[in-house]
Protein backbone atom coordinates (compact mmCIF):
# COMPACT_ATOMS: atom_id res chain seq x y z
CA UNK A 1 0.00 0.00 0.00
CA UNK A 2 3.02 2.33 0.28
CA UNK A 3 2.99 2.72 -3.51
CA UNK A 4 -0.63 3.96 -3.49
CA UNK A 5 -1.69 1.09 -5.78
CA UNK A 6 0.27 2.81 -8.56
CA UNK A 7 3.62 1.07 -8.01
CA UNK A 8 4.99 -1.83 -5.98
CA UNK A 9 7.06 0.10 -3.46
CA UNK A 10 9.96 -1.91 -2.09
CA UNK A 11 10.65 1.03 0.21
CA UNK A 12 7.32 0.31 1.91
CA UNK A 13 8.55 -3.19 2.75
CA UNK A 14 11.75 -1.74 4.18
CA UNK A 15 9.82 0.79 6.28
CA UNK A 16 7.68 -2.00 7.74
CA UNK A 17 10.72 -4.17 8.49
CA UNK A 18 12.50 -1.22 10.16
CA UNK A 19 9.42 -0.43 12.27
CA UNK A 20 9.37 -3.94 13.75
CA UNK A 21 13.17 -4.19 13.99
CA UNK A 22 13.36 -0.94 16.00
CA UNK A 23 10.84 -2.40 18.45
CA UNK A 24 12.99 -5.45 19.13
CA UNK A 25 11.44 -7.95 16.72
CA UNK A 26 14.39 -9.65 15.05
CA UNK A 27 12.73 -12.79 13.62
CA UNK A 28 11.13 -11.16 10.58
CA UNK A 29 10.32 -12.89 7.29
CA UNK A 30 9.01 -11.09 4.23
CA UNK A 31 7.57 -13.14 1.37
CA UNK A 32 7.62 -11.66 -2.14
CA UNK A 33 6.85 -13.46 -5.42
CA UNK A 34 10.09 -14.13 -7.32
CA UNK A 35 8.78 -12.38 -10.43
CA UNK A 36 9.25 -9.09 -8.52
CA UNK A 37 12.99 -9.56 -9.22
CA UNK A 38 12.38 -9.26 -12.96
CA UNK A 39 12.70 -6.10 -14.98
CA UNK A 40 9.56 -4.03 -14.30
CA UNK A 41 7.05 -3.62 -17.11
CA UNK A 42 5.27 -0.32 -17.79
CA UNK A 43 2.00 -1.78 -16.48
CA UNK A 44 3.61 -3.29 -13.33
CA UNK A 45 5.92 -0.63 -11.93
CA UNK A 46 8.35 -1.51 -9.14
CA UNK A 47 10.47 1.05 -7.31
CA UNK A 48 13.76 0.49 -5.46
CA UNK A 49 14.15 -3.19 -6.37
CA UNK A 50 17.64 -3.20 -4.85
CA UNK A 51 15.92 -3.21 -1.44
CA UNK A 52 14.54 -6.68 -2.16
CA UNK A 53 18.01 -8.02 -2.93
CA UNK A 54 19.44 -6.37 0.21
CA UNK A 55 16.74 -7.87 2.43
CA UNK A 56 17.26 -11.26 0.80
CA UNK A 57 21.02 -11.11 1.56
CA UNK A 58 20.15 -10.34 5.20
CA UNK A 59 17.89 -13.42 5.22
CA UNK A 60 14.82 -11.30 5.97
CA UNK A 61 13.16 -11.65 2.57
CA UNK A 62 12.27 -14.92 0.83
CA UNK A 63 11.19 -15.06 -2.80
CA UNK A 64 8.33 -17.48 -3.40
CA UNK A 65 8.62 -19.68 -6.49
CA UNK A 66 7.34 -18.80 -9.93
CA UNK A 67 8.12 -20.03 -13.43
CA UNK A 68 7.19 -19.53 -17.04
CA UNK A 69 5.18 -22.15 -18.88
CA UNK A 70 4.39 -21.51 -22.51
CA UNK A 71 5.24 -17.82 -22.12
CA UNK A 72 2.88 -17.39 -19.16
CA UNK A 73 3.92 -16.83 -15.56
CA UNK A 74 2.84 -19.52 -13.09
CA UNK A 75 3.08 -18.45 -9.47
CA UNK A 76 2.61 -20.35 -6.27
CA UNK A 77 -0.01 -19.37 -3.74
CA UNK A 78 2.23 -17.32 -1.46
CA UNK A 79 -0.52 -16.65 1.10
CA UNK A 80 -0.15 -20.26 2.18
CA UNK A 81 3.61 -19.74 2.78
CA UNK A 82 2.84 -16.72 4.95
CA UNK A 83 0.16 -18.28 7.13
CA UNK A 84 1.96 -21.63 7.46
CA UNK A 85 5.23 -20.06 8.67
CA UNK A 86 3.49 -17.67 11.07
CA UNK A 87 1.38 -20.50 12.52
CA UNK A 88 4.35 -22.85 12.91
CA UNK A 89 6.56 -20.19 14.49
CA UNK A 90 3.83 -18.69 16.70
CA UNK A 91 4.26 -15.43 14.86
CA UNK A 92 2.08 -12.61 13.61
CA UNK A 93 0.92 -12.06 10.04
CA UNK A 94 1.27 -8.44 8.94
CA UNK A 95 -1.08 -7.95 6.01
CA UNK A 96 -4.25 -6.23 4.91
CA UNK A 97 -5.42 -9.53 3.41
CA UNK A 98 -8.00 -11.36 5.54
CA UNK A 99 -7.00 -14.78 4.15
CA UNK A 100 -10.66 -15.79 4.12
CA UNK A 101 -10.01 -18.77 1.85
CA UNK A 102 -7.25 -20.12 4.11
CA UNK A 103 -9.44 -19.67 7.18
CA UNK A 104 -11.83 -22.17 5.62
CA UNK A 105 -9.02 -24.53 4.62
CA UNK A 106 -7.78 -25.47 8.10
CA UNK A 107 -9.61 -24.92 11.40
CA UNK A 108 -6.39 -24.14 13.31
CA UNK A 109 -5.53 -21.47 10.75
CA UNK A 110 -8.93 -19.81 11.16
CA UNK A 111 -8.38 -19.18 14.87
CA UNK A 112 -4.76 -18.18 14.27
CA UNK A 113 -5.66 -15.67 11.55
CA UNK A 114 -8.45 -14.20 13.66
CA UNK A 115 -6.08 -13.66 16.60
CA UNK A 116 -2.74 -12.98 14.88
CA UNK A 117 -3.49 -10.83 11.83
CA UNK A 118 -2.07 -7.33 12.16
CA UNK A 119 -3.37 -4.89 9.54
CA UNK A 120 -1.50 -1.67 8.79
CA UNK A 121 -1.47 1.57 6.84
CA UNK A 122 1.00 4.15 5.63
CA UNK A 123 0.79 7.91 5.90
CA UNK A 124 3.43 8.96 3.40
CA UNK A 125 6.57 7.29 4.81
CA UNK A 126 5.15 6.67 8.27
CA UNK A 127 4.23 3.06 8.86
pLDDT, tens digit, 9 for 90 and up, residues 82-91: 999 999 999 9
How do the domains of the chain map onto residue ranges?
8-118
Distance, in Å, from the CA atom of 11 to the CA atom of 93, rounded to the nearest integer, reads 19
Match domain 8-118 to its CATH number in 3.20.20.150, 3.30.160.110, 3.40.50.720, 3.40.50.11980.
3.40.50.11980
pLDDT of 73: 67
pLDDT in tens, 30-58: 999 988 888 777 777 889 999 999 999 99
Burial of 19 (0-12, 13-18, 19+ CB in 10 A): middle
- Count of CB atoms situated within 10 Å of the CB of 67: 11
Enter the pTM of the model. 0.85
Percent helix / strand / coil, the chain, rounded to 5: 40, 20, 35
Amino acid sequence: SHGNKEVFSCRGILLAVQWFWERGHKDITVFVPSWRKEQPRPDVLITDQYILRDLEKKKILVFTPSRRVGGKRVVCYDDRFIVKLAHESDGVVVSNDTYRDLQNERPEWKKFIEERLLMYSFVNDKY
